[in-house]
């Protein structure tokens, strides 16, 4: 009877303290295991820094890789060729080739271009807003070629597309410019929305003039929503594009573009190569590819980077989780006797479980605090060396939640094992 | 004694399989991630011509003026225009010198080939071959006299010779390139320094070797334009080939060989002097702005190493550090659990030194196992690099003897270093204390 009331007394004394006051014994235990505590904190802090920045780098790559091209990507194929010797009339050859390609069953539109978005090899012009300007305003992609709006599937948001009668042979323009004449200028042109907004913010771009050389002026007759450059190095300038109505003629720097339904692409590509060979059996076809291939080739390094980062982050989290399991198991094994004594003094299984969970939470929290500072420092260093934007602050709480979760999951097993230590352990000598 | 400690280590590692496995996995993952990214980094950042990189220089001359510089940074263009390039050749101020530009030509049908094929080549002066130490399988390069004579000669790559002549000695045979015949004077053995430092302006930094090499002078005679980059400034007035040559368009990669610091200084003076002369003649309206960079400086200036590979390497190294911190914790747990055993050994006369030795051997065993796992993962990873990086870069990353040694060495060394603190703790166990409680 007396014994029972003693137990009840003990229980009552311990119980109310449990919920709030458990931090005190945890902290004093941690103070006695400084090295393990510091190791765990350091590990959590490093993970916090690397994972926050790593996830941010991946997000950056994804954003870059998803850069819009503005064209009907899944419906396009490209054929590039190199004539052995220049044909007698390259304009006539291009017309003949295009007419033949148009006849291929399944072809919806045929065009020709000196470059394609993300194609790598680019042609750019220096844009000026007045003919006497000493320096260029900016550099923008110059798209030359046939039937580009329809073939690429560009979306016209203002004005009109280029008319067939507005096209001029490139040689005529080059000769006029070499003679110092401005005959035939201003020529009509299309610009991308991004370029129009940059050159004439808040104004209607239709009818505006730009100069690519002091003599060569162009009047904006239409605006396309999006058309990316062939070499989109920087996101800020990646969408500055112009379309100019020049016939370029057949040569190695031009390529034929065919629009077709996605499922017909391979068949159309094979038929097109065969048709071109029929016209001139001696020609060399240097490249045939679908637009999807062009895009994936261009972003291959970004893809590689994202792949490596994602695998490293996954491995970091796995290794850490396992590391916490290992250390917590060790800790539980070391303290079996203390756990037994606590159980004998009336602590419930839940109390023991919560003890280890709280301890883990505290350690991870200390680590996160240190880790945020590290993460931010690393971000500043990356900014200084690699033209990366600053780590958005929103990544820090997300990183913290992820680490708390991993810590809790990892400690659950050892903590459950600890809660199953029977009180009788207290009476045994090791 | 070593064998005994090894035996003890293996017994100890077997006793707690979970902790042992965790340490091995951590080290294996960490070392593999670092080695995979390192193999890529090594591939792209290597010195393409180690024994001569300090003797080969590329001169740059500002023919555009400071206002028109490439990135607005006041640096001269990354290649030369025709006027400056020819002036450097004629001055002959260096021991060896060459101009280079990439060309693309069609090889006409011949022999048992019925279809024409596309080929990529290099147009250069004959000094190209000795300067860049190009190895020959058959024949030789061409001489200065043949440069002067604008001779129709060609040097083929080993692979291209196999394609055209089945790999036979083709010296003296004729090849039809773009409608003109050329006599084969040499076939080079496989030669493809990476990155392709000698022709960075015009073409990919990492790529296949050229199919053929032809005299620069001959290529100019035939009006063969560059297959690489061409960059111009200001008003475009070029109407024909001659106008194009006189224009400010830059497209030629120049290289000179200078053996001593004195020669380098002399050449630098010569470049300055040339620019001053051009300014005086009224061709340049700006003070001389010239550069003379050697191979290493040139690769750094052209940012040839993709920043991706460097960031990936750093992230992986960070990961490795985390794995090591993890290992320190686990080793500490493992060693301290054996305080009793250590106490007994110490009481029986083992010195601290011996305790150190025993536990470091145990750590090294873990490191070796981790290294072996890491090696396996590295081999898998490196073969998977092709799925991620450009094929040109992926081809360069490979597992070789030095990578294997490095993987194992790093794993063992890092684990032993990580084990120092836990071992120190183990060696300082108080025998009396542990014996008493037991």
Q: What is the DSSP string of B37-82?
A: HHHHHHHHHS-SSTTTTTTEEEEEE--S-GGG-TTSSSPPPSSB-H
Which residue on chain B is closest to A41 by alpha carbon? B325
- Those residues of chain B that have pLDDT short of 70 are 70-72, 110-114, 202-206, 234-239, 385-398, 434-438
Question: Whole-angstrom Cα distance, residue A52 to residue A2?
Answer: 59
- The chain B residue lying nearest A387, using CA atoms, is B307
Q: Do B333 and A327 touch (CB under 8 A)?
A: yes
ipTM for the predicted complex comes to 0.70
CA distances for B215 relative to A27, B123, B156, B220, angstroms: 79, 5, 12, 9
- H helix or E strand, kind and range, residue B20: helix B17-45
Is residue A384 less than 8 Å (CB to CB) from chain B?
no
Alpha carbon distance B175, B154 (integer Å): 8
A138-146/A241-244 β-pairing: parallel
- In 3-state terms, what secondary structure has residue A258? strand
Q: CB-based contacts of A196: which residues, under 8 Å, 6+ apart?
A: A205, A220, A223
What are the φ/ψ torsions at residue A272 (nearest 5 degrees)?
-65, -45
Residue A187: predicted pLDDT: 92
Q: Do A301 and B18 touch (CB under 8 A)?
A: no
Q: Which helix (H) or strand (E) holds A244?
A: strand A241-244
Chain B 7-36, residues with CB within 8 Å of chain A CB atoms: 18-19, 22, 25-26, 29-30, 33, 36
Instruction: Indicate yes or no: CB of B235 within 8 angstroms of CB of A215.
Output: yes
CA atoms B242, B246, B252, B255: torsion sign: positive
**Beta-carbon contacts of residue A307 (< 8 Å; ≥ 6 apart):** B387, B388
pLDDT in tens, B204-226: 666 778 899 999 999 999 888 88
What residues of A are in contact with residue B179 (Cβ under 8 Å)? 84-85
Which pLDDT score, from 0 to 100, does residue A17 have?
A: 45
Angle between helices B261-280 and B82-91 (to 10 degrees): 130
B369 touches chain A (CB under 8 A): no
Q: What is the pLDDT of residue B378?
A: 86
Beta pairing partners, A141: A124, A241
Residue (of B435, B417, B414) closest to B33 by Cα position: B414
Residue B225: its pLDDT value, please? 85
A329 closest CB neighbour out of B18, B104, B389: B18
Report pLDDT for A6: 44
The H or E element spanning position A192 is strand A187-192
Task: Flag if B325 and A315 touch (Cβ within 8 Å).
Answer: no
pLDDT averages per 10-residue partition of chain A, 430 residues: 43 46 72 79 88 87 89 92 73 91 93 90 84 81 90 93 90 79 86 94 92 88 94 83 90 88 93 89 83 89 80 85 84 84 88 90 92 90 81 87 91 90 74
């Amino acid at each position: 009877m007396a014994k029972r009331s003693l137990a009840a007394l003990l229980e009552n004394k311990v119980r109310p303290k449990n919920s709030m006051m458990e931090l005190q014994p945890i902290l004093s235990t941690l103070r006695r295991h400084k090295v393990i505590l510091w190791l765990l904190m350091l590990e959590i802090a490093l993970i916090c820094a690397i994972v926050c920045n790593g996830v941010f780098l991946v997000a950056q790559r994804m954003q870059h890789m998803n850069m819009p091209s503005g064209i009907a990507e899944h419906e396009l194929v490209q054929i590039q060729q190199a004539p052995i010797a220049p044909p007698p009339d390259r304009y006539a050859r291009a017309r003949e080739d295009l007419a033949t390609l148009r006849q291929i069953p399944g072809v919806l539109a045929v065009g020709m271009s000196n470059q394609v978005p993300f194609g790598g090899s680019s042609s750019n012009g220096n844009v000026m807003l007045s003919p006497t300007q000493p320096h260029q305003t900016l550099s923008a992609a110059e798209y030359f070629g046939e039937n580009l709006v329809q073939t690429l599937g560009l979306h016209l948001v203002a004005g009109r597309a280029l008319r067939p009668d507005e096209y001029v042979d490139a040689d005529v323009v080059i000769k006029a410019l070499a003679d110092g004449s401005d005959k035939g200028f201003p020529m009509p042109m299309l610009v991308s929305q991004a370029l129009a907004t940059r050159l004439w913010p808040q104004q209607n771009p239709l009818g505006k003039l730009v100069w690519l050389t002091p003599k060569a002026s162009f009047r904006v007759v239409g605006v396309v929503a999006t058309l990316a450059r062939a070499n989109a190095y920087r996101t800020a300038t990646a969408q500055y594009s112009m379309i100019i109505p020049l016939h370029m003629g057949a040569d190695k720097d031009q390529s034929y573009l065919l629009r077709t339904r996605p499922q017909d692409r391979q068949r159309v590509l094979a038929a097109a190569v065969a048709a071109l060979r029929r016209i001139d059996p001696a020609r060399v076809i240097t490249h045939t590819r679908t637009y999807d291939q062009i895009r994936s080739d261009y972003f291959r390094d970004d893809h590689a980077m994202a792949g490596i980062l994602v695998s490293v982050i996954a491995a970091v989290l796995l290794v850490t989780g396992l590391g916490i399991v290992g250390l917590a198991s060790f800790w539980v094994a070391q303290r079996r006797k203390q756990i037994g004594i606590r159980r004998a003094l009336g602590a419930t299984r839940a109390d023991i479980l919560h003890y280890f969970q709280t301890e883990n939470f505290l350690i991870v929290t200390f680590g996160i605090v240190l880790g945020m500072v590290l993460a931010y420092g690393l971000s500043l260093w990356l900014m200084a060396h690699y033209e990366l934007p600053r780590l958005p602050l929103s990544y820090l709480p997300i990183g913290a939640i992820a680490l708390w979760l991993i810590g809790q999951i990892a400690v659950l097993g050892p903590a459950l094992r600890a809660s199953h230590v029977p009180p009788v352990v207290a009476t045994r000598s090791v | 004694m070593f064998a005994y400690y090894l035996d003890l280590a293996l017994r100890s590692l077997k006793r707690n399989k979970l902790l042992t496995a965790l340490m091995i996995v951590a080290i294996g993952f960490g070392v593999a991630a670092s080695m995979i990214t390192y193999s890529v980094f090594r591939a792209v950042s290597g010195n393409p011509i180690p024994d001569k990189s300090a003797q080969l220089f590329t001169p740059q001359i500002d023919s555009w003026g400071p206002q028109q510089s490439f990135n607005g940074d006041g640096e001269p263009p990354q290649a030369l225009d025709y006027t400056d390039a020819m002036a450097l050749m004629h001055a002959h101020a260096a021991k060896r010198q060459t101009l280079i530009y990439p060309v693309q030509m069609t090889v006409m049908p011949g022999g048992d080939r019925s279809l024409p094929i596309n080929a990529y080549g290099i147009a250069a002066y004959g000094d190209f071959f000795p300067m860049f130490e190009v190895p020959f399988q058959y024949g030789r390069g061409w001489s200065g006299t043949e440069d002067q004579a604008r001779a129709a000669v060609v040097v083929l790559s080993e692979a291209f010779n196999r394609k055209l002549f089945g790999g036979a000695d083709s010296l003296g045979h004729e090849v039809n390139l773009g409608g003109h015949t050329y006599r084969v004077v040499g076939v080079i053995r496989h030669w493809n320094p990476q990155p392709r430092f000698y022709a960075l302006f015009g073409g990919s930094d990492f790529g296949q070797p050229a199919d053929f090499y032809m005299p620069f002078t001959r290529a100019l005679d035939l009006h063969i334009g560059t297959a690489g980059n061409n960059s111009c400034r200001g008003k475009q007035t070029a109407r024909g080939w001659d106008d194009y040559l006189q224009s400010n368009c830059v497209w030629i990669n120049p290289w000179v060989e200078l053996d001593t610091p004195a020669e380098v200084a002399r050449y630098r003076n010569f470049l300055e002097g040339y620019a001053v002369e051009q300014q005086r003649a009224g061709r340049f309206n700006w003070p001389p702005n010239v550069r003379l960079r050697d191979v290493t400086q040139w690769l750094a200036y052209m940012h040839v190493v993709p920043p991706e590979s460097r960031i990936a390497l750093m992230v992986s190294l960070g990961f490795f550090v985390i794995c090591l911190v993890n290992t320190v914790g686990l080793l500490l747990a493992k060693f301290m659990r054996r305080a009793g055993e250590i106490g007994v050994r110490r009481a029986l006369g083992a010195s601290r030194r011996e305790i150190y030795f025993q536990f470091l051997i145990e750590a090294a065993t873990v490191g070796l196992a981790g290294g072996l796992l890491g090696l396996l993962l590295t081999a898998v990873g490196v073969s998977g690099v092709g799925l991620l990086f450009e094929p040109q870069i992926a081809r360069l990353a490979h597992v070789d003897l030095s990578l294997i040694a490095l993987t194992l060495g790093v794993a063992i060394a890092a684990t032993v270093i990580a084990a120092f603190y836990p071992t120190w703790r183990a060696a300082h166990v108080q025998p009396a204390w542990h014996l008493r409680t037991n």
